[in-house]
Chain A
Amino acid sequence: MRPCDSLKREFLKKWMMGLQSCSSSNKDMSILERKEAIKLSADVAMACARNGATCWSRALIAAGAHSKHGAPREYSNKRIRSKKILKRSCRIRIRRRKRSKCSAQVGRASSISKGLVRQRTRILKSLIPGGESMDEASLVEETLDYITYLRAQVDGMRSLVDASELDR
């Protein structure tokens, strides 16, 4: 699925604005810092293009704000931490119930596959920004969204790089 042009345009516009604002004092930065600044501005632009309607965009914006201030990160961390605690307690309760219910057959294929799926879900959660505090259904939704936006971002960045290299 090609990202539509309007999406790319949105992203590019916002990105240029972000780049301009954050690289005005560009001369002294090392290359890594510049790269981080560019990436950050691209991410924030992408998230803004989504208008904060999705979880990952809000998390990205929060992470972007963190690079300048410390407060938003703490808030998001607290929320994430409390949700983790809650989920862990629920999981323990469910696990206790399941253990009492079902028989302890380790070699069952379904349990193995479920374990694999759970592991992959955990990895995916770590990949998607803000994915820790999401249940499976919304996680899948966010992934869908995130992939389209990532594609648009990559396309935009690539065309900019091509344009810059053509200049040589």
Chain B
Amino acid sequence: MELNAGAGGNGSHKTASERDEVAALESLQFTDEIRRLMSAPGGDNASSFTALLELPAPQAVQLIQSPDSAKLIAAPAPAPAPNVDDFRGSFQFPFNCGLIDRAARFSVFAGDGNINGNNKSNSPEPTSYNSSASLQKPVKNEPAETESSQPLVSDPTVENRSIKRKDREKVKGSSKKSKTSAKESSEDAEKLPYVHVRARRGQATDSHSLAERARREKINARMKLLQDLVPGCSKISGTALVLDEIINHVQSLQRQVEFLSMRLAAVNPRIDFNLDSVFTAESGSLMDSNFSGMVIPMMWPEVQLNGNRQQYPQQLHLDAFQQPVSGREEVCNSYLTPENSLLSYDSSGNSASLHSNQLKMEL
């Protein structure tokens, strides 16, 4: 009784606030749904449900939690538009699925005869943008009271619509709802494989700009990585200057490669890189050693020896390989040229000097 009176009394108020909301958010569909609901012979629950839609979140929460909802229904709903905007900013994606489920469950729970009618009319309703925000809080707290064993009437459709609703959360009352929902209705409700781009205030929200914005953000993320990689780029702000630095860096690296190759070409014109046998043997030791510096002493003496004496290197290889190898590193060290400075590459240089002396003797 009380509720009905409250509902009736609030009917006009609801329509007023509802009209405001509709005017603010441009959703005619919502108006029709609301009107249909209000005129439905459903009782308290239906009207309270629709009332929930108008009320801002905190009041709606109280509404749910308190058993006598009539008093709270009577509370005037301030302009829902700003609250909706706030919700939009803080809206979370995984939040939404559960909300839709609970919205469906709530409508199921709300009544019997009207349920189906309400459910059918409510399920397209949640897809409309206006109800989503205000439905968040009330529907969230609702499972605390409803039995979760309530089977969902239209679970997969609700899931699909939850996807649509998510998209509409992003889209600020755009006219391309059908396009985006068609795009996304094929996606899974649990995990959408594409990136979520939240529409910020004052930004265009059609699918083209959304995709462009996602692309932009991807590019910017990669540019950040580049900035970290290139020294001296992290302080610079602005894409053009960062690109400048990157170009300079790449150019300098390429020039270094050229100079170094020129130096190598000039160093030893008679170098004969005959490293066949060495490589097959060294590939194993290469994996063992931890320092790339060790590779150089390994290979360089080979290069030099091959350049100067053709026959000795082979003997040396065989000797070196046939030596009883306590550790791989010693084998590597045995290849060392007499230059002791090369030993600085090694970590275990103690036995190296001994081997270099042996090499000297052999040479």
State whether A154 and B296 are in contact (beta carbons under 8 Å apart), knowing that A113-B240, A140-B222 are contacts in the complex.
no
A90 at the interface (CB under 8 A from B): no
A35 engages B296 (CB within 8 Å) = no
Interface segment out of the listed A47-55, A68-76, A144-152: A144-152
Interface extent on A, as a size class? 35 or more
A157 engages B264 (CB within 8 Å) = yes
CA distance A141 to B244 in the complex (A): 16
A-B contact count (CB 8 A): 157
Label chain B's interface by main secondary structure. helix
B34 at the interface (CB under 8 A from A): no
B52 at the interface (CB under 8 A from A): no
B189 at the interface (CB under 8 A from A): no
Count residues of B near A (Cβ-Cβ below 8 Å).
60
Task: Give the interface centre of B215, B295, B341 by most chain A CB atoms within 10 Å.
Answer: B295
A42 engages B222 (CB within 8 Å) = no
A163 engages B257 (CB within 8 Å) = no
B276 at the interface (CB under 8 A from A): yes
State whether A124 and B263 are in contact (beta carbons under 8 Å apart), knowing that A13-B286, A19-B273, A23-B273 are contacts in the complex.
no
Label chain A's interface by main secondary structure. helix
A31 engages B247 (CB within 8 Å) = no
CB within 8 A of A157: which of B238, B260, B304? B260
B276 engages A120 (CB within 8 Å) = no
* Given A5-B290, A123-B247, A164-B268; 6 other pairs, CB 8 A cutoff: A1-B228, A26-B271, A117-B240, A124-B250, A127-B247, A127-B251
Which A residues form the contact surface with B (CB < 8 A)? 1, 5, 8-9, 12-13, 16-17, 19-20, 23-24, 26-27, 31-32, 34-39, 42-43, 113, 116-117, 120-121, 123-124, 127-128, 136-137, 140-141, 143-144, 146-148, 150-151, 153-167
Q: Provide a sorted-by-A list of 14 A–B residue pairs whose CB atoms are within 8 angstroms.
A: A5-B291, A26-B271, A31-B266, A42-B261, A120-B244, A137-B222, A140-B222, A140-B226, A143-B250, A144-B229, A147-B229, A150-B254, A160-B296, A162-B296
